Amino acid sequence: MMRTIAAAVLLTLGAIAGQLQVQPARPQSGKPIEFNYVADAEYFSEPDSVWLCIYAFDDSRFYPTAWDIRLERKGTSYRGTFSAVPSDAVFLLFRIVSGREYDDNRGRYWDALVWNGSTPKIGAYFRQAISYLGQGASGLPSVARRADLDRAKELLQRSIETHPDHLPTKFAYAGVRFDRGEISRSDLDETLQRLLQLPWDSTNEMQVRSRSRALRLLGRDSDAAELERHYAERFPTSDLAEEVERAYCAAARTPEEFRDRIRRFAERFTSSPNAAKMYTDLVAYYLQQGNGDAAIATVNSYPVPPGVTSSPPPALLNMLAVTMVRQDSLLKLAQQYIEWAVRALETENLDAKPRYVAPCEYRWQLRELRGICYDTWGYVLYRMGRTDDAIEAFRQCEHLLGPFASGDMLEHLSEALMAAGRREESLAVARRAIATGRAIGPTVMRFLQSSADTAAIRAEYESLRMQARPAKLRRLRQEMLAQPLLEMQFRRNDGSTFLLGDAVLTTLDGRQISLRQLKGKVVVLDFWATWCGPCRVSMPSMQKLYEKYRSTSDVEILLVNCWERVDDRTEHVRKFLASNPSYTFPVVLDLRDEVVSGFGVTGIPTKFYLDRDGVVQFKEVGFPGADVFIEEASDRIDLLLGR
C-alpha cells in the first residue's frame, strides 16, 4: 500500500562550503561585481544549473531584496557577473544554490560591504553586524547566518567609529554588550533610556524597530506596540506593517476570528507566503477537529485579487486533497482540488515572488510544489482505479524533481507499475531508487521478492547499494552543519552565563559530566522524555544502534532526558527504565534543561551527531522509522569516524 504523500515542500539539503571570490573587494553602488566560485561539481545533483543568490540590505528596510545570477561552468569553476549593485544597498550576503541543494559556506555565508569611494556606506557595518546575530536578526531562514557575538560587537564598534550618529548601531551595541555579560541590566536600562531621548527618523523602519525593541526591553510593551502600529498605518505595505498584521492575526481568540483576520491579511499582502501558511494552519486545525466542511469553506474563501484568474495557493489545495484522498466518498472532491492545484502551477508567475526570495529560489519552490502536486494527483488517480493515468502523473513528478524526487515518490511509481502488470518497469524504478540511495522499505522488499533465486537477487541488491554509496556520502557531506555550539555562551535566568560545552549532564547514579569531556569521540545525543510517544517508539532502534557501536571506544551514544513534568526526575526515569529492562543504552539527565535549550531543540525526539572536535555535524528531528533509521544513523557515525 502506498505509504505517504507530501502535503508541503520537501526538506532542504545542507551546505558544502566551496570557495567564492568577489571582485572588486570593495563593491560600489551602480557598479558590476564579478564572482568566481570553485567547488567539486560532483557535490551538485544538477551541476549545470548553479546560481548565485545576492541578498541586498539597505539602511531602512528590515528584509533584504534578493537577486540572482546564473553561474557558467568554466573548467573547474563557476563564473558570473552581477550587472550593478543596487543604489540603496549597503551590505550584501551571498550563497550558492542548485535546486534544493545549496552552499552557504557552512552557515557563514559570504558577504561584502558596499562602499562610497574609500568609505563604507552608512549602515554597512551595522547590517553586517546584525547578520551575525542569527536568524532572529534577519527574520529569514534563507539568510540565517551562524551567530557570532564577538564578530557582531567588533563590527558595531567599527560602525560607531565611521558613523557615530547612526542610531540603530547604538541600540544594537548596548544589547550585544549586555548579551556578552559586559554590562549589567541596570546599565543596559540606563543606556536605552538615554538613547530613546535622542533625535530619530520616524520614517526609517530600522530606527523604528530599534526603538521598539528598546521599549520592550524596558518593559514598555504598550508603547512599543503603539509605535509599531503608528508606523504600519503610515506605511501599510512595509515589512513592519506585515509583521504587525501577523501579530493581529495571531491574537485572534476563536478560529472564526482568525479566519476573518487572515483573509484581510491575504488581501493586503498578496505576495506574502505567510498568508498561505496561516490559511494552511487554520485548515489543518479544522481537519484535526474533524470539521471538513469548515476546512473546505476556508479554502474556497481565499481572496483572489480583482481581475486575476487564479486560485487559492496550490499548497493549500494539495493539503486538502491529501486529507480527502483516504476517504472513498471524498475522492471526486480530492480530484477536483488537486487538478485545480496542478492547473494553477502550469504558469510561472514571478509577480507573486516575495522581495526577499531570489528568482531562482522561487522558481525551484514552484517546480518542487508542482512535483508534489503531481505525486498527489497520481495517488488520487490510483485510488480511483485509474492506474495508467496515475503512472503518467507519477512519471511527471519524477521528471520535474529529477534526483530530488523522494523515496516515497519513487515507491508510488514502482507500486503503480507493478499493479498495472508492468513488472520490469516497476523493478527498473526500484533499481534506480536503490542505486541512488533513495529506496524505502517497501521498494526494497518488492525488489528482493521479485526473484525465486534469493541469492542472485540479494547479490544484485548489495551491488546496487554499493552504487548508492557515493550519492549517500555526497548527501551526508551536504547535510553537515559544522556548528561549534559547545563554544557558544548562554545566559541563565539569574543573569549568569555559561558555555554550552560546560553545561552539566547527570547520570542516574549522580555523576556529572560535560559535553566537553567527550571531545575525541563521535557523540550521538538523543533528547527525549518519558511522556513523548515518538521518543518511546524510537527507543528500540536506539537500543540497536547502541548495541552496534557498544564495543567502539570512540563512539558515545547518550539519551538525554529533558522536559519532564515531575518533581523527582531521577526517580521517575529510573522507574521508566525498570519497566523497560531491554533498554541498556546510557541515559543522562538534563536536570536544568540547559543543554536542550542551548541546542535550540523545539520538539522531541531530536538527535545531534557531534564529531571528535565537539562540533555539531548532523541534526535529526523526529523519527524516520525503524527501516531507515539504523542505516542513516550508521552512515553518519561512520562518516564522522572517517570510515
Q: What is the pLDDT of residues 257-310, one digit of tens each?
A: 988 898 899 888 887 888 888 888 888 788 778 888 888 888 888 876 444 445
Q: What is the pLDDT of residues 72-86, one digit of tens each?
A: 998 779 999 999 999
Confidence at residue 486, expressed as pLDDT on a 0 to 100 scale:
85
CATH of domain 1-183: 2.60.40.1930
CATH of domain 485-641: 3.40.30.10
pTM of the model: 0.79
* 3-state SS class at 561: strand
Q: Is residue 393 over pLDDT 90?
A: yes
Confidence at residue 301, expressed as pLDDT on a 0 to 100 scale:
80
- Mean pLDDT of all residues belonging to the chain: 89
Confidence at residue 7, expressed as pLDDT on a 0 to 100 scale:
38
State which amino acid sits at residue 345.
L
Query: Average pLDDT of 88-113?
Result: 92
Q: How confident is the model at residue 346 (pLDDT cuts 50, 70, 90)?
A: confident
Confidence at residue 128, expressed as pLDDT on a 0 to 100 scale:
96
Cell 477536483 identifies what position?
336
What is the spatial distance between Cα 419 and Cα 74, in angstroms, rounded to a whole number? Answer: 47
Cell of 392: 503518467
CATH of domain 253-396: 1.25.40.10
Query: Average pLDDT of 338-356?
Result: 87
Beta-carbon contacts of 551 under 8 Å, excluding residues fewer than 6 positions away, are none
Confidence at residue 144, expressed as pLDDT on a 0 to 100 scale:
78
Q: Alpha helix (H) ranges present in 84-220? A: 124-131, 135-138, 149-162, 167-179, 185-196, 205-217
Q: Is residue 196 over pLDDT 90?
A: yes
The structural domains of the chain, with segments of one domain joined by +, span 1-183, 211-251, 253-396, 406-479, 485-641
Confidence at residue 13, expressed as pLDDT on a 0 to 100 scale:
39
Q: What is the pLDDT of residues 516-566, one digit of tens each?
A: 999 999 999 999 999 998 999 999 999 999 999 999 999 999 999 999 989
Confidence at residue 126, expressed as pLDDT on a 0 to 100 scale:
97
Whether 506 and 588 have beta carbons less than 8 Å apart is answered as yes
Measure Cα distances from 593 to 32, 49, 503, 531, 557 in Å.
50, 44, 10, 16, 19
Beta-carbon contacts of 469 under 8 Å, excluding residues fewer than 6 positions away, are 437
